[in-house]
Amino acid sequence: MFSYAFAATASTILSGAVAGRMKFFTYVYISAFVSGFVYPVVAHWAFSEDGWLVSSMDQVQSYSILLICHP
């Protein structure tokens, strides 16, 4: 459930960035893409034990996770 909250947050960050700048259905499509594909892939890279981002950045893991949670 915790990851779903961050996926929803990624969608709300997107809504604040594009508010009034794109059509509603375009926003729904992009929001579904970010929440359904982009965030889960990046979260797997960062938070999974076999993710490449975790294995390649062991010394700076706290900084890399901070950048993923708060772009």
Would you say 4 and 62 are in contact if contact means Cβ atoms under 8 Å apart? no
**More confident call, 16 vs 44:** 16
- pTM for this predicted structure: 0.65
Burial class (CB in 10 A: 0-12, 13-18, 19+), 53: middle
Residue 42: predicted pLDDT: 79
d(CA 69, CA 38): 13
First to last CA, the chain: 21
Q: What is the pLDDT of residue 34?
A: 86
Please say if the pLDDT value at position 16 is more than 80. yes
**pLDDT tens, residue by residue, 19-57:** 889 899 998 998 899 888 888 887 777 777 777 766 665
The answer to whether 47 touches 54, Cβ cutoff 8 Å, is yes
